[in-house]
Structure 1
């Protein structure tokens, strides 16, 4: 929280002028902080009378950065298995750790999960910290948060990565707040800057209209959540060896005010577009709900699934589980055919990792052609039926 010391504030207006978010105004010669404040700290740095400070924040010089070392991956465990996103994070984590010359570690919480630790080592981890306790059988944010915070404080990793899943988006912000650490959510790219070892965290910003690269220069650990299917998992090597560390945590950290009565998996529409190796996606160019009949026919001939852009979902032409993009699902199929989709950043971040992208659009200047493997400029209502028919003929032969 940004705090204004009213006794020191002289109402000079420098903070108001330097705030990029318009979150500060000067009223009656006193700075007033609005709801749009992002705690970036720019106003604090520019206040000559030191009338502003961030409560609970970490200022430059407060943290000895040299004490922090190593890359950590929070290996989410659910429904009796390690979540696939953990292996994707180990893939990018291995690259970051090798570049920094530091070990890669995984953190595994749950009940009777020790047997799964070697899977994480085979996927690239050098060390796996296991907290195996009946109190961790069900996810409870307060318990998971306290245990993870305790581990981080004790071992001081410089980077902590987690999946941008329901659990990751719940517990990681809590831990970051407790540690006074920087956190970037829903990253689509991670890299290390060679000059100083800074973690560069890239994610869509301003409604997905630009890609922003974020740094956390004055706090540790540097924390980021990554959307599933954005990163490629590292090849599994069963011969890899590593260290499994069983961690005992104080009982008071395992106490919770929450009691989990039952865990029930949602019974919704039976479709998971992230599981398909081939996806045919439709967008605004389909014009109406009937346009998806063409998409469905092509997908069936290819043995794939049907996906959609947000515009098509918002129009009510197809249900939300099919949506790809920043506000939908991230997919990484071998083949992605985009029909009538312009290719705005909001959609691109959800499918640009596909091995092969085929774009069909009548607008030759559509952004999707900038990153498509193959582009077909023309009327999708002519091209898609021709492709479908050609596939049927080939199968018949």
Structure 2
């Protein structure tokens, strides 16, 4: 057996089968490229679902992590540490907000937002105890905890995990009328992805997000923006909502906030909203740890310069222009997205999304499928135009288009 086959066989035998990875075993990576255990190089057009916005092994982030590793990595929140205040202050400033509640994973940020919204509803809005409702969108993906899958519409993510957590109302994504009709006096929040990533990089209709903002203000309801995948430069702006000129009541951040080095997530909001928490009412042993703060502070500094957002916008225009040329020729049905993020609907006759991903793997390009014949393209923002074009040429080869 080859080194690849041996590693895959061992993983299959000794790990739970909750993932179906492509048959590649990565041993090292740099920038937009990964190298497998047999020395073959692959262009990464997934970037860890946007966790690797700044590329593999980004020197600034690795240096920040190394420096912190030699000082202190964990104190728990029982004590202050010397990176925490700077992290919270600078992330709040990046978001034009006032307060930060740090966690570790994106799902933890979403769970924290649910708890925050409910507590705000009871203590500030005056909703009767136990009656708070949160409105979400169909085809959402906010994580995989039992509470979060309770408001998923994806049978694969939801089946066999009941009984499900109550308190959520699901409405069609992009439908303001349905959202308005779902609101009651007990509605405390609307939780949305500005662009639905797992659903296939779905961009809502123009005017939808400003309409959500207006409606939530009018009804005294929190607008919670899950920017865990869409935020921190991916779409050509620091936050995807900026394309619509919208500022939510709460940002949920994760993935790229840890630079692909450590898990870092955060809820960022106003003092009025996050101020509902009192000591002991919520927490995390690792949330806001010194190592996480050191890496995230470097991420924030990189975003403040604006070069990554500009690069994502410029290369994103090129990406969508090139992908748009494939539509209508029988190979690609639709292309969606913003910045360096695209959902590509392949003609089903050419294969499933999984099959297209496997064919691209054979061409040394890594992407991931979702829902039928859709593939997602989201390279690290550090990718060169030449490498991006090389990857697009491999896609054309796989689709048999000139």
Structure number with higher strand proportion: 1
Structure number with higher helix proportion: 2
Higher relative contact order, chain-length normalized (CA < 8 Å, sep 6+): 2
TM-score with structure 2 length normalisation? 0.28
Q: Rg: which structure is higher?
A: 1
